[in-house]
């Protein structure tokens, strides 16, 4: 699992649809997820710290969870299939844990209101993330190429020997 934060809301220039953009804590990868207008509005209100006189839907969800003595432990965006993302909200009450299936946009809006971490699985990132730090990616690729070019068969023998000694 990779922890991510909300970078902001963008608009798809072709369709005008809102996109929530998550980024990892190192700002190396971004994950764009197309969402609905209502969810985008809820996320923007939280980003901009805008208050409303009456609770909106995601505020209400958080309030209900608190009234049941549960807390929002985390959310996970854990699957993507045919450009549809899936998320789970994890609620805890002592040792009890409940999992709630959710759309990622709703889970993100709820997590932001509860200051809960947002996690994304590696398979979701592999299918949808874009690199935001190409210089760092190129640097690491060069380091790896240098490592591969300079490795000798005897290096593997030493590694196997060390592993066998630690098993005994």
Which residues of the chain form beta strands (DSSP E)?
A: 2-11, 18-24, 29-34, 71-81, 84-93, 96-102, 118-120, 130-131
DSSP class of residue 159 equals H
Looking at residue 111, its pLDDT comes to 97
Looking at residue 62, its pLDDT comes to 94
Backbone angles phi, psi at 28, to 5 degrees: -100, -25
Q: How far apart are CA 112 and CA 48, in angstroms?
A: 12
What are 129's two structure tokens?
């993330």
Bridge partners (DSSP) listed for residue 6 = 22
Looking at residue 43, its pLDDT comes to 93
H-state helical runs in 6-114: 37-47, 57-67, 104-114
Please, what are the averages of pLDDT over each run of 10 residues along the chain (168 residues)? 92 88 89 92 91 90 94 95 93 94 96 96 82 59 61 59 61
């Amino acid at each position: 699992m990779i922890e991510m934060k909300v970078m902001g809301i963008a608009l798809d220039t072709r369709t005008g649809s809102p996109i929530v953009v998550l980024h990892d804590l190192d700002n190396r990868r971004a994950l764009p997820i197309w969402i609905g207008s209502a969810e985008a509005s809820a996320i923007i209100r939280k980003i901009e710290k805008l208050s409303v006189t009456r609770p909106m839907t995601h505020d209400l969800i958080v309030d209900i969870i608190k009234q049941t003595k549960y807390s929002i432990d985390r959310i996970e965006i854990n699957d993507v299939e045919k450009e549809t993302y899936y998320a789970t909200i994890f609620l805890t009450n002592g040792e009890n844990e409940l999992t709630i299936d959710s759309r990622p946009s709703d889970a993100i809006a709820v997590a932001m209101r509860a200051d809960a971490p947002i996690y994304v699985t590696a398979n979701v990132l592999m299918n949808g993330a874009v690199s935001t730090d190409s210089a760092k990616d190129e640097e690491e690729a060069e380091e790896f190429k240098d490592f591969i070019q300079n490795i000798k068969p005897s290096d593997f023998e030493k590694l196997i020997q060390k592993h066998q000694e630690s098993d005994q």
